[in-house]
Amino acid sequence: MTRPFLIGLTGSIGMGKSTTAEMFAEEGAAVWDADAAVHRLYARGGAAVAPMQRRFPGAVNEAGVDRGALKELIAEDPSVLKQIEAIVHPLVAADRAAFIAARPADVLVLDIPLLFETGSADQFDLVAVVSAPPELQRARVLARPGMTAAQFETILAKQLPDAEKRARADVVIPTETLEGARKVVREIMAQARGEAEDA
Protein backbone atom coordinates (compact mmCIF):
# COMPACT_ATOMS: atom_id res chain seq x y z
CA MET A 1 0.00 0.00 0.00
CA THR A 2 1.29 3.44 -0.88
CA ARG A 3 1.58 5.98 1.87
CA PRO A 4 -0.62 9.08 2.05
CA PHE A 5 0.60 12.52 0.92
CA LEU A 6 1.14 14.66 4.02
CA ILE A 7 0.49 18.39 3.91
CA GLY A 8 1.49 20.52 6.89
CA LEU A 9 -0.71 23.64 7.11
CA THR A 10 0.42 26.51 9.29
CA GLY A 11 0.33 30.28 9.66
CA SER A 12 0.20 32.88 12.41
CA ILE A 13 -2.86 33.69 14.51
CA GLY A 14 -5.88 34.80 12.46
CA MET A 15 -4.21 34.21 9.08
CA GLY A 16 -6.89 31.69 8.03
CA LYS A 17 -5.69 28.17 8.94
CA SER A 18 -9.13 26.84 9.95
CA THR A 19 -10.88 28.38 6.94
CA THR A 20 -8.24 26.98 4.58
CA ALA A 21 -8.29 23.55 6.25
CA GLU A 22 -12.04 23.45 5.58
CA MET A 23 -11.31 24.11 1.88
CA PHE A 24 -8.91 21.15 1.80
CA ALA A 25 -11.65 19.00 3.36
CA GLU A 26 -14.11 20.15 0.68
CA GLU A 27 -11.55 19.02 -1.93
CA GLY A 28 -11.42 15.52 -0.40
CA ALA A 29 -8.48 15.68 2.03
CA ALA A 30 -8.81 14.41 5.60
CA VAL A 31 -7.89 17.11 8.12
CA TRP A 32 -6.32 16.82 11.57
CA ASP A 33 -6.30 19.95 13.73
CA ALA A 34 -3.66 20.36 16.48
CA ASP A 35 -5.74 22.86 18.48
CA ALA A 36 -8.74 20.49 18.37
CA ALA A 37 -6.48 17.66 19.55
CA VAL A 38 -5.45 19.77 22.56
CA HIS A 39 -9.14 20.36 23.34
CA ARG A 40 -9.76 16.57 23.27
CA LEU A 41 -6.69 15.90 25.44
CA TYR A 42 -7.82 18.52 27.99
CA ALA A 43 -11.46 17.35 28.12
CA ARG A 44 -12.72 15.00 30.82
CA GLY A 45 -11.17 11.56 30.21
CA GLY A 46 -8.52 13.05 27.88
CA ALA A 47 -4.92 11.82 28.10
CA ALA A 48 -3.52 15.16 29.34
CA VAL A 49 -5.82 15.38 32.37
CA ALA A 50 -3.91 13.06 34.73
CA PRO A 51 -0.39 14.42 34.01
CA MET A 52 -1.66 18.02 34.19
CA GLN A 53 -3.45 17.23 37.47
CA ARG A 54 -0.14 15.98 38.94
CA ARG A 55 1.82 19.07 37.82
CA PHE A 56 -0.88 21.80 38.17
CA PRO A 57 -3.52 20.43 40.60
CA GLY A 58 -5.40 23.76 40.75
CA ALA A 59 -5.89 23.86 36.99
CA VAL A 60 -7.96 20.67 36.67
CA ASN A 61 -11.62 20.31 37.59
CA GLU A 62 -14.38 17.75 36.87
CA ALA A 63 -14.68 19.04 33.28
CA GLY A 64 -10.98 18.47 32.61
CA VAL A 65 -8.11 20.96 32.27
CA ASP A 66 -9.27 24.54 32.90
CA ARG A 67 -7.75 26.88 30.25
CA GLY A 68 -8.67 29.97 32.24
CA ALA A 69 -6.71 28.68 35.23
CA LEU A 70 -3.75 27.84 32.97
CA LYS A 71 -3.78 31.36 31.53
CA GLU A 72 -3.66 32.79 35.07
CA LEU A 73 -0.70 30.57 35.93
CA ILE A 74 1.10 31.63 32.72
CA ALA A 75 0.40 35.31 33.50
CA GLU A 76 2.00 34.87 36.95
CA ASP A 77 4.95 32.89 35.61
CA PRO A 78 5.63 32.78 31.85
CA SER A 79 7.85 29.69 32.26
CA VAL A 80 4.66 27.70 33.00
CA LEU A 81 3.85 27.62 29.27
CA LYS A 82 7.05 25.64 28.59
CA GLN A 83 6.11 23.19 31.35
CA ILE A 84 2.63 22.75 29.84
CA GLU A 85 4.15 22.24 26.41
CA ALA A 86 6.47 19.53 27.77
CA ILE A 87 3.40 17.58 28.91
CA VAL A 88 1.07 18.36 26.01
CA HIS A 89 3.25 18.26 22.89
CA PRO A 90 4.22 14.55 23.13
CA LEU A 91 0.52 13.67 23.57
CA VAL A 92 -0.39 15.83 20.56
CA ALA A 93 2.34 14.06 18.54
CA ALA A 94 0.89 10.66 19.49
CA ASP A 95 -2.65 11.74 18.49
CA ARG A 96 -1.29 12.96 15.14
CA ALA A 97 0.62 9.71 14.54
CA ALA A 98 -2.58 7.72 15.20
CA PHE A 99 -4.48 9.85 12.65
CA ILE A 100 -1.79 9.27 10.00
CA ALA A 101 -1.63 5.54 10.75
CA ALA A 102 -5.43 5.26 10.30
CA ARG A 103 -5.03 6.81 6.83
CA PRO A 104 -8.51 8.28 6.45
CA ALA A 105 -7.72 9.57 2.90
CA ASP A 106 -4.89 9.61 0.33
CA VAL A 107 -4.19 13.26 1.10
CA LEU A 108 -3.88 14.24 4.76
CA VAL A 109 -3.77 17.87 5.92
CA LEU A 110 -2.34 18.58 9.36
CA ASP A 111 -3.33 22.01 10.67
CA ILE A 112 -0.56 22.90 13.13
CA PRO A 113 -0.19 26.48 14.43
CA LEU A 114 3.29 25.76 15.83
CA LEU A 115 4.55 23.59 12.96
CA PHE A 116 7.90 25.40 12.55
CA GLU A 117 8.25 26.26 16.24
CA THR A 118 7.99 22.56 17.20
CA GLY A 119 10.49 21.53 14.51
CA SER A 120 8.21 19.14 12.61
CA ALA A 121 8.49 20.73 9.13
CA ASP A 122 10.58 17.86 7.73
CA GLN A 123 7.82 15.32 8.46
CA PHE A 124 5.65 16.60 5.60
CA ASP A 125 5.69 16.16 1.83
CA LEU A 126 4.63 19.80 1.49
CA VAL A 127 4.36 22.68 3.96
CA ALA A 128 1.77 25.37 3.14
CA VAL A 129 1.67 28.70 4.98
CA VAL A 130 -1.48 30.84 5.04
CA SER A 131 -0.68 34.53 4.92
CA ALA A 132 -2.42 37.90 4.64
CA PRO A 133 -1.18 41.48 5.19
CA PRO A 134 -0.56 42.34 8.87
CA GLU A 135 -3.31 45.01 9.01
CA LEU A 136 -5.86 42.46 7.82
CA GLN A 137 -4.58 39.86 10.32
CA ARG A 138 -4.83 42.37 13.16
CA ALA A 139 -8.36 43.48 12.17
CA ARG A 140 -9.54 39.85 11.94
CA VAL A 141 -8.12 38.88 15.32
CA LEU A 142 -9.34 42.01 17.14
CA ALA A 143 -12.84 41.40 15.74
CA ARG A 144 -13.03 38.22 17.86
CA PRO A 145 -15.07 38.57 21.04
CA GLY A 146 -12.90 38.99 24.14
CA MET A 147 -9.64 39.57 22.21
CA THR A 148 -7.60 42.61 23.22
CA ALA A 149 -4.69 44.31 21.44
CA ALA A 150 -2.42 43.29 24.35
CA GLN A 151 -3.43 39.61 24.09
CA PHE A 152 -2.89 39.70 20.34
CA GLU A 153 0.62 41.14 20.79
CA THR A 154 1.46 38.51 23.44
CA ILE A 155 0.42 35.64 21.18
CA LEU A 156 2.21 37.13 18.14
CA ALA A 157 5.42 37.46 20.16
CA LYS A 158 5.37 33.69 20.85
CA GLN A 159 4.98 32.75 17.20
CA LEU A 160 7.61 32.73 14.45
CA PRO A 161 7.11 35.94 12.39
CA ASP A 162 4.95 35.65 9.26
CA ALA A 163 7.84 36.66 6.96
CA GLU A 164 9.94 33.81 8.31
CA LYS A 165 7.10 31.33 7.92
CA ARG A 166 6.62 32.42 4.30
CA ALA A 167 10.33 32.04 3.63
CA ARG A 168 10.25 28.46 4.93
CA ALA A 169 7.02 27.44 3.13
CA ASP A 170 6.88 25.23 0.06
CA VAL A 171 3.71 27.09 -0.94
CA VAL A 172 2.17 30.30 0.42
CA ILE A 173 -1.65 30.39 0.38
CA PRO A 174 -2.87 34.00 0.16
CA THR A 175 -5.93 34.53 2.39
CA GLU A 176 -7.05 38.04 1.44
CA THR A 177 -9.99 36.48 -0.40
CA LEU A 178 -11.73 33.10 -0.31
CA GLU A 179 -11.38 32.69 -4.11
CA GLY A 180 -7.63 33.39 -4.02
CA ALA A 181 -7.10 30.82 -1.28
CA ARG A 182 -9.32 28.19 -2.93
CA LYS A 183 -7.40 28.46 -6.21
CA VAL A 184 -4.09 27.61 -4.49
CA VAL A 185 -5.73 24.87 -2.38
CA ARG A 186 -6.93 23.22 -5.62
CA GLU A 187 -3.44 23.48 -7.16
CA ILE A 188 -1.89 21.86 -4.08
CA MET A 189 -4.51 19.07 -4.12
CA ALA A 190 -3.81 18.36 -7.80
CA GLN A 191 -0.08 18.06 -7.04
CA ALA A 192 -0.73 15.92 -3.96
CA ARG A 193 -3.05 13.52 -5.81
CA GLY A 194 -0.50 13.16 -8.62
CA GLU A 195 2.27 12.34 -6.18
CA ALA A 196 0.08 10.03 -4.06
CA GLU A 197 -0.63 8.02 -7.25
CA ASP A 198 3.05 7.91 -8.30
CA ALA A 199 4.23 6.78 -4.85
Ligand X SMILES: CC(C)(COP(=O)(O)OP(=O)(O)OC[C@H]1O[C@@H](n2cnc3c(N)ncnc32)[C@H](O)[C@@H]1O)[C@@H](O)C(=O)NCCC(=O)NCCS
Ligand Y SMILES: Nc1ncnc2c1ncn2[C@@H]1O[C@H](COP(=O)(O)OP(=O)(O)OP(=O)(O)O)[C@@H](O)[C@H]1O
Tell me if 159 sits within 8 A of 117, measured CB to CB.
yes
Pick one of ligand Y, ligand X, none as the site partner of residue 18 (Cβ within 5 to 8 A by kind). Answer: ligand Y
Nearest CB to ligand X, comparing residues 4 and 159: 159
**Does 154 count as an annotated binding residue?**
no
**Does 14 count as an annotated binding residue?**
yes
CB of 136 to ligand Y, least distance (A): 8
Pick the stretch among 25-33, 67-75, 102-110, 128-136 that binds ligand X (CB under 6 A).
Answer: 67-75
The answer to whether residue 18 forms part of the interface with ligand Y (CB under 6 A) is yes
Reduced to 3 states (helix: H, G, I; strand: E, B; else coil), residue 16 is coil
The answer to whether residue 114 forms part of the interface with ligand X (CB under 6 A) is yes
The answer to whether residue 81 forms part of the interface with ligand X (CB under 6 A) is yes
Helix, strand, coil percentages in the chain from 3-state DSSP, rounded to 5:
55, 15, 30
Strands (E), the chain: 5-10, 30-33, 60-61, 64-65, 107-111, 126-131, 171-174
155-182: b (≥16 Cβ within 10 Å) or e:
ebeebeebeebeeebeebbebeeeeebb
Q: For residue 194, report the phi and psi dihedrals to the nearest 5 degrees.
A: -60, -45
Nearest CB to ligand X, comparing residues 118 and 191: 118
Nearest CB to ligand Y, comparing residues 8 and 113: 113
Site for ligand X in 126-165 (CB under 6 A): 155, 158-159
The answer to whether residue 175 forms part of the interface with ligand Y (CB under 6 A) is yes
**Does 16 count as an annotated binding residue?**
yes
Pick the stretch among 16-24, 40-48, 93-101, 185-193 that binds ligand Y (CB under 6 A).
Answer: 16-24
Report the distance separating Cα 120 and Cα 41, nearest Å: 20
Pick one of ligand X, ligand Y, none as the site partner of residue 181 (Cβ within 5 to 8 A by kind). Answer: ligand Y
